[in-house]
């Protein structure tokens, strides 16, 4: 669940969810899409006095989201942040990203198939939950993951043993550079 914190840091550090209406779609954000979004967001951050170097900011931003994050989610969050005044809280921007049906499918399967693997039922909340929580910004992180990757995650859940399920999930995260 460290990834939501990473997304929050990326969004905050680079400047500014599904918001619906994105021209990018729900697939994994491409290098070109991220370049456009991150450049605008980093420039806004610099204009607000961050002191960041544009090239470094854009490179770091792209490294954190390309290939796994939903393009529409990144676009919506960053668009929201671009509309904010300098130093305004951007907490509400992350709440704009709604889970898709595939995310809800993940949550149901995750809670069922990983329940035997958890020490306590609450342990699954941060990992399985797809709806954002104002009380815990790590809850609901999965909604930022592009649908094809969520499908890969779901494919791990029917494996026969907990260790195999968790190893499979770690493999999916590693192959897409997701620091979950």
Mark whether 109 and 168 lie in a shared domain.
Answer: yes
- The model's pLDDT over 113-124, given as tens digits with 9 standing for 90+, comes to 999 999 887 888
In the chain, what is the greatest distance between 2 CA atoms, to the nearest angstrom?
Answer: 53
- Kindly report the three-state secondary structure assignment for every residue of 132-144: CECCECCCCHHHH
Judge whether 132 lies within some domain.
yes
Mark whether 85 and 138 lie in a shared domain.
Answer: no
SS3 assignment, position 178 = coil
What is the rounded CA–CA span in Å between residue 79 and residue 16? 6
Mark whether 109 and 60 lie in a shared domain.
Answer: no
Question: What's the structural domain count of the chain?
Answer: 2
Indicate whether 138 pLDDT > 80.
Answer: no
Note the helical H segments in the chain. Answer: 2-14, 31-47, 54-65, 71-82, 91-94, 101-113, 125-128, 147-156, 162-175
SS3 assignment, position 145 = strand
Mark whether 52 and 121 lie in a shared domain.
Answer: no
What is the rounded CA–CA span in Å between residue 170 and residue 16? 28
- Cα 4-68-38 angle, rounded to 5 deg: 75
Mark whether 52 and 111 lie in a shared domain.
Answer: no
DSSP label of 22? -
Average pLDDT, the chain: 85
Q: What global pTM score does this model have?
A: 0.84
- The model's pLDDT over 19-70, given as tens digits with 9 standing for 90+, comes to 445 678 999 999 999 999 999 999 999 999 988 899 999 999 999 999 999 9
Q: Which of 56, 76, 94 is the last residue of a domain?
A: 94
Range of the domain at 90: 2-94
Mark whether 108 and 156 lie in a shared domain.
Answer: yes
What is the rounded CA–CA span in Å between residue 16 and residue 155? 32
b/e map of 62-99 (b: 16 or more CB within 10 Å)? bebbbbbbbbbbbbbbbbbbbebeeeeebeebbbbbbb
- The model's pLDDT over 126-137, given as tens digits with 9 standing for 90+, comes to 889 998 877 776
Residues 6+ apart with CB under 8 A from 60: 10, 13, 14
Judge whether 180 lies within some domain.
no
Mark whether 168 and 105 lie in a shared domain.
Answer: yes
């Amino acid at each position: 669940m460290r990834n939501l914190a990473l997304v929050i840091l990326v969004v905050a550090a680079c400047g500014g969810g599904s918001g619906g209406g994105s021209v990018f779609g729900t697939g994994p954000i491409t290098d070109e899409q991220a370049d456009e979004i991150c450049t605008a967001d980093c420039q806004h951050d610099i204009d607000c006095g961050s002191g960041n170097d544009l090239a470094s900011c854009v490179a770091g931003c792209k490294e954190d989201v390309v290939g796994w994050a939903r393009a529409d989610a990144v676009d919506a969050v960053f668009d929201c942040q671009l509309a904010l005044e300098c130093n305004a809280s951007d907490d509400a921007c992350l709440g704009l990203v709604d889970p898709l049906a595939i995310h809800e499918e993940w949550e149901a399967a995750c809670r069922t198939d990983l329940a035997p693997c958890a020490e306590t039922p609450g342990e699954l909340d941060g990992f399985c939950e797809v709806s954002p929580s104002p009380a815990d910004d790590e809850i609901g992180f999965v909604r930022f993951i592009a649908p094809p990757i969520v499908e890969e995650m779901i494919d791990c859940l029917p494996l026969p043993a907990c260790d195999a399920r968790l190893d499979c999930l770690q493999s999916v995260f590693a192959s897409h550079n997701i620091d979950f």
